[in-house]
């Protein structure tokens, strides 16, 4: 059985979209690994990791706003015409979910720290204001929600990578190459 080969080349994404995608992908992976590491061990490096996690989380929140503005001002290339309807729907829904997670996780983290009464200090001593006042019970609920969202994002990223590989290796329809700038 031979694999289907679609030799049509999908239009590439705009350069800014590609750059934001890969910068955010790297930052999100750093965040997830640092967050998992912080949650499962105690270390003398915890304070530094926590500062890194807060700073990169805030940077991701800023970048997702820029990315959303870019997404609404620059059209994305169309999906291949021969892509089945359910796969098109899954692609659109997964991207909405990815943006939702990228926006919600930092906001929930910020709210969690605020509810816990923790000062939110980024690298360089920059302070950001709390989103709410001290509320220990809400802190616990937000901490749980932050963890659940992180695990959900991990699953969604794995699905996203799987879909990229489906397009690049099996369908060979140019979709994966369009985000690589080809």
Q: What is the pLDDT of residue 37?
A: 85
Lowest mean pLDDT among 73-77, 115-119, 165-169: 73-77
Checking if the pLDDT of 5 tops 70, the result is: no
Per-residue pLDDT reduced to its tens digit, 137-166: 999 999 999 999 999 999 999 999 999 999
Q: Does residue 71 lie in a domain region?
A: yes
Work out how many domains the chain is built from and give that number: 1
Please report which confidence band the pLDDT of residue 1 belongs to, taking 50, 70 and 90 as the band edges.
very low
Give a three-class secondary structure readout of the chain: CCCCCCCCCCCCCCHHHHHHHHHHHHHHHHHHHHHHHHHHCCCCCHHHHHHHHHHHHHHHHHHHHHHHHHHHHCCCCCCCCCCCHHHHHHHHHHHHHHHHHHHHHHHHHHHHHHHCCCCEECHHHCEECCCCCCCHHHHHHHHHHHHHHHHHHHHHHHHHHHHHHHHHHHHCCCHHHHHCCC
Q: Which residues contact 49 (CB under 8 A, 6 or more apart)?
A: 34, 37, 38, 43
Q: Does residue 42 lie in a domain region?
A: yes
Q: What is the pLDDT of residue 47?
A: 80
Q: Does residue 54 lie in a domain region?
A: yes
Checking if the pLDDT of 45 tops 80, the result is: no
Q: What is the pLDDT of residue 62?
A: 95
Q: Does residue 10 lie in a domain region?
A: no
Q: Does residue 33 lie in a domain region?
A: yes
- What's the domain range around 47? 15-76+90-179
Checking if the pLDDT of 43 tops 80, the result is: no
User: How far is 145 from 137, CA to CA, in rounded Å?
Assistant: 13
CATH number of the domain bearing residue 159: 1.20.950
User: How far is 118 from 110, CA to CA, in rounded Å?
Assistant: 10
Checking if the pLDDT of 34 tops 70, the result is: yes
Please report which confidence band the pLDDT of residue 48 belongs to, taking 50, 70 and 90 as the band edges.
confident
Q: What is the pLDDT of residue 161?
A: 95
Q: Does residue 114 lie in a domain region?
A: yes
Q: What is the pLDDT of residue 138?
A: 97
Q: What is the pLDDT of residue 8?
A: 53
Lowest mean pLDDT among 4-18, 28-42, 79-93: 4-18
Which is nearest to 34 in space by CA: 125, 103, 99, 105?
105
Please report which confidence band the pLDDT of residue 2 belongs to, taking 50, 70 and 90 as the band edges.
very low
Please provide the average confidence, as pLDDT, over all residues in the chain.
Answer: 89
- Tell me the whole-structure pTM to 2 decimals: 0.86
Q: Does residue 83 lie in a domain region?
A: no
Q: Does residue 150 lie in a domain region?
A: yes
């Amino acid at each position: 059985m031979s694999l289907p080969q679609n030799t049509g080349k999908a239009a590439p994404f705009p350069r800014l979209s590609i750059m934001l995608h890969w910068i955010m992908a790297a930052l999100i992976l750093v965040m997830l690994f640092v967050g998992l590491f912080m949650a499962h061990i105690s270390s003398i490096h915890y304070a530094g990791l926590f500062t890194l996690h807060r700073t990169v989380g805030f940077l991701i929140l800023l970048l997702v706003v820029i990315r959303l503005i870019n997404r609404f001002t620059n059209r994305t290339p169309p999906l291949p015409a021969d892509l089945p309807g359910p796969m098109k729907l899954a692609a659109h829904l997964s991207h909405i979910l990815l943006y939702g997670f990228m926006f919600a996780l930092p906001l929930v983290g910020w709210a969690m720290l605020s509810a816990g009464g923790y000062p939110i200090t980024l690298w360089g001593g920059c302070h950001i204001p709390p989103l709410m006042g001290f509320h220990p019970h809400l802190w616990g609920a937000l901490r749980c929600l932050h963890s659940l969202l992180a695990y959900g994002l991990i699953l969604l990223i794995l699905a996203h990578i799987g879909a990229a590989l489906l397009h690049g290796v099996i369908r060979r329809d140019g979709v994966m190459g369009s985000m690589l700038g080809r």
